[in-house]
């Protein structure tokens, strides 16, 4: 009996792990063989592949914009100061996907000016509208936007910087192009935006009161909420009701 028990114990020590490994391999093989269509039939999202953009997505992000403005010279020292408009804000957007690869995205940026025209234009409210191609990863769009700083203090000065009067820009209209990169992360998507536009605006600075075109550069990073699971669930429920 001791010999039999010893042999039986040795067999179990070898056979049991082998049986468990074989069972797990079978489950893994079955899961790997299950296609995306099978998962969609169950109302699930296949994490192994990139999916088409979902129809409705809300985006929350940060936006940084830049415009080079006029310059002014200090009559006493001769020092010339070049001014820049650099607002940093929170960007709220809604994206509608239609015709599979086309999108429409209205957005609103609210924030503050963080460079050397803070005293003359401290705040920004900037609505925009973009439309174009949106794939699983890359996107290209054209857009239009308009803004006028809600607070304008023409020729305001900064005491800490001891500069001369700062300019303001009003009635800013811009059109431009956007390139985006979107990557899925868990139950959402991280997106990066780069925009280049031409902006026409009226610059008021001391005696200067001129409307002209100038380049405008914009960077953005944001988060799209949702990964399509709710939408897939609703589609599955409709298909089941139609049967």
Domain match, 175 and 95 both = yes
pLDDT in tens, 170-208: 999 999 999 999 987 667 899 999 999 999 999 999 999
Distance between CA 138 and CA 182 in Å, rounded? 6
Domain match, 33 and 61 both = no
Domain match, 43 and 142 both = no
Domain match, 175 and 199 both = yes
The total domain count for the chain is 2
Domain match, 37 and 126 both = no
Which pLDDT value is given to residue 98?
Answer: 94
Which pLDDT value is given to residue 184?
Answer: 77
For residue 166, what is the domain's CATH number? 2.40.160
Asked if residue 238 belongs to a domain, the reply is no
In the chain, the percentage of residues whose pLDDT exceeds 70 is 72
For residue 27, name the pLDDT band (cuts at 50, 70, 90). very low
Q: Does residue 110 carry a pLDDT above 60?
A: yes
Asked if residue 241 belongs to a domain, the reply is no
In the chain, the percentage of residues whose pLDDT exceeds 90 is 60
List the one residue out of 207, 134, 127 whose CA is nearest residue 165. Answer: 207
Asked if residue 41 belongs to a domain, the reply is yes
Asked if residue 235 belongs to a domain, the reply is no
Domain match, 29 and 137 both = no
Domain match, 10 and 117 both = no
pLDDT in tens, 48-105: 566 788 899 999 999 999 999 999 998 888 889 999 999 999 999 999 999 999 999 9
Distance between CA 240 and CA 230 in Å, rounded? 15
Domain match, 62 and 27 both = no
Query: Which residues constitute the domain of residue 104?
Result: 56-227
Distance between CA 68 and CA 133 in Å, rounded? 30
Domain match, 83 and 31 both = no
Domain match, 89 and 197 both = yes
For residue 166, name the pLDDT band (cuts at 50, 70, 90). very high
Average pLDDT value for residue range 152-158: 92
Domain match, 36 and 103 both = no
Which pLDDT value is given to residue 50?
Answer: 67
Which pLDDT value is given to residue 242?
Answer: 72
Asked if residue 151 belongs to a domain, the reply is yes
Q: Does residue 233 carry a pLDDT above 90?
A: no
Q: Does residue 34 carry a pLDDT above 90?
A: no
Domain match, 36 and 62 both = no
CB 71 within 8 Å of CB 83:
yes
* Residue that is last in its domain, among 12, 29, 48: 48
* Residue 164, SS3 per DSSP: coil
């Amino acid at each position: 009996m001791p010999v039999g028990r010893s042999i039986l114990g040795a067999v179990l020590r070898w056979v049991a792990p082998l049986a468990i490994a074989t069972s797990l391999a079978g489950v893994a093989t079955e899961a790997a063989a299950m296609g995306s269509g099978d998962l969609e039939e169950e109302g699930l999202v296949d994490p192994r592949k990139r999916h088409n953009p979902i129809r409705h997505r809300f985006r929350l992000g940060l936006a940084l914009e830049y415009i080079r403005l006029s310059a002014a010279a200090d009559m006493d020292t001769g020092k010339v100061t070049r001014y820049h408009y650099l607002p940093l804000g929170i960007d709220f957007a809604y994206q509608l996907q239609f015709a599979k690869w086309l999108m429409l995205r209205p957005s609103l940026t609210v924030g503050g000016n963080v460079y050397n025209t803070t005293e003359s234009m401290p705040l920004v409210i900037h609505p925009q509208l973009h439309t174009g191609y949106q794939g699983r990863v890359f996107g290209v769009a054209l857009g239009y936007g308009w803004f006028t700083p809600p607070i304008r203090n023409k020729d305001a000065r900064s005491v800490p910087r001891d500069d001369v009067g700062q300019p303001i820009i009003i009635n800013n209209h811009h059109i431009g192009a956007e390139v985006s990169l979107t990557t899925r992360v868990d139950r959402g998507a991280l997106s990066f935006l780069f925009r280049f536009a031409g902006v026409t605006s009226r610059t008021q600075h001391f005696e200067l009161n001129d409307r002209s075109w100038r380049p405008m550069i914009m960077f953005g990073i944001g988060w799209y909420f949702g990964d399509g699971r709710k939408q897939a669930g609703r589609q599955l429920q409709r298909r089941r009701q139609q049967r």
